[in-house]
Amino acid sequence: MTKAVFFDRDGTLIVEQHYLKDPEKVILFDDAVTALRGIMNAGFELFIVTNQSGIARGYFTEVEYQAVHRRVCERFAAGGVTFRDAAFCPHAPDSDCSCRKPNPGMLTTLMERHHIDPRVSFMVGDKAADIEAGIAAGVTSILVMTGYGRDDLRKLAGKQFIPADNLGAVRDIILGGANEK
């Protein structure tokens, strides 16, 4: 079984921009490459799971989403970081789908496809929906205080998750064995 870290994209790996469709506007957080390289070098497979309702809303196309995704992967690859796979939900928030976070569908699909052990895996995101998806999928969830993280803290009262200031802190938590159950 594989150990993995699932990352939300916008507000977690890259600076949040409203309905990003231009690859030229991709901005990685300063510590993103170094942090993810450390996690990857410790034997974790890296994945991206992202809600992209802008597709359903008509703000951008799936082709534009894919161009942004490629740019994100290229920017990380330039620093020696590779993602094993990615999943995105193109549906609107009011749709009845199993993939849109906080539903765990994207995570469970990737977990099955790549034989991932949830007991030694993590979900990292900046929104309550990311944390709730991770909890529902049975992985340790880390709320990073970038993007919407600080705003969503109150929405997670009573839920089991680990807060982290940035991706460097996420790396330290993961490499420190915080998910040993």
Q: Which residues are catalytic?
A: 8, 10
Q: Report angle CA 50, 56, 59 to the nearest 5 degrees.
A: 90
- Angle, vertex CA 106, rays to CA 139 and CA 157, nearest 5: 50
Rounded to whole angstroms, the Cα distance separating 132 from 126 reads 11
H or E stretch covering 125: strand 122-125
Neighbours of 84 (CB within 10 A): 16
The structure tokens 């094993």 sit at 84
β-strands 4-7, 122-125 pairing: parallel
32-41 and 62-77 helices, crossing angle to 10°: 70
**Shortest CA distance to 8 belongs to which of 176, 155, 97, 139?**
139
